[in-house]
Copies of this chain bind each other. A is one copy, B any other.
Amino acid sequence: MNKIVTISREFGSGGREVAKRLSDVLGVAYYDKEIIDHIAEKTNFAPEYVATVSEVPTMSSYPVTFGRTFASNVLSPSEAVQIAQRECIKELAEKEDCIIVGRCANSILADKAFKVFVYASDMDCRIDRCYNKVPADKEIPRKKMEKEILAVDKRRAKYQLAYADQKWGEMSNYDLCIDTSKFGVKKAVEIIAHAMKVYYE
């Protein structure tokens, strides 16, 4: 069986960077936004459209209606993307050792994957990390940045509930949860890589 790591993450925790570095350390493939192109190819939707719905909960996406709408029994475009995404994640996990970021992969591959949640308990760390990604001349007050960070987390939680029927960030849905405020990204990667080694021994 392939070695699959799923990385779920709080916004601004450095989870994406953890995943990237981990893929370098382990020498395995890394899928985050790359999944969007796979889905675009599969569904014939434009990658730009896929990107807008790929991790976003929609009105019609709550568990009972997953797959088909009540009214028409026909897939809505965003539902088609979700289903393609789910299939794509399963195929990637079948194909090779890899790291998959977000997208309910921890639920889709629940029994197959090594499931990590990356968080940052210190909000200042998250805000600073986000500032590093916006142009220096774009002035955003820290309070506003914090609000935006929490809004992204809220969207992710809503998405996880909608498509995986899981509470996002609840530790029982993951094998290992790690605070980058405590360890920083580099040490977090070292710890996760070692935990994987120990697990597969």
User: Chain B contacts of A176 at CB under 8 A?
Assistant: 176-179, 182, 191
A32-40, A79-87, A90-98, A193-201: which one contacts chain B? A193-201
For the complex, give the distance between the alpha carbons of A199 and B176 in Å: 16
CB distance from A69 to the nearest CB of B (A): 33
A60 at the interface (CB under 8 A from B): no
Copy count, this protein chain: 2
For the complex, give the distance between the alpha carbons of A117 and B175 in Å: 12
User: Do A187 and B191 touch across chains, with their CB atoms under 8 A apart?
Assistant: no
User: Do A179 and B171 touch across chains, with their CB atoms under 8 A apart?
Assistant: yes
What are 20 A-B contacts defined by CB distance under 8 Å? A117-B171, A119-B171, A119-B172, A121-B171, A121-B173, A121-B175, A169-B171, A172-B179, A175-B178, A175-B183, A176-B177, A176-B182, A183-B195, A183-B198, A183-B199, A187-B198, A187-B199, A191-B191, A194-B195, A194-B198
